[in-house]
Amino acid sequence: MNTVTIGIVTDCLALSIREEPDSDGKVIGTVDALSELMIDEGASNKDFYKVCTEAGVEGFCSKRYVAVRPKG
């Protein structure tokens, strides 16, 4: 089972959620600043998190714009 972490959208007004972990990937949704994301660390890579939004959209977003909430 992959580890799920909570992240908060930071440093942008709206973060694109993409179909693939690639900056050229198709945008399938957006989330506003300060929104929470569930991060699947096991399916993430060095540049992109695999995420699920509060609305249930699953895809990838740039790690640059997500602050990981400390565990505990």
pLDDT of 30-57, one tens digit each?
999 999 999 999 999 999 999 999 999 9
- pTM of full prediction above 0.85: yes
d(CA 54, CA 18): 15
Task: Return the pLDDT at 1.
Answer: 44
What is the mean pLDDT of the segment spanning 19-24? 97
Higher pLDDT, 21 or 70: 21
Is 52 within 8 Å of 38 (Cβ atoms)?
A: yes
Q: Does residue 69 carry a pLDDT above 60? A: yes
47: its two tokens: 């540049």
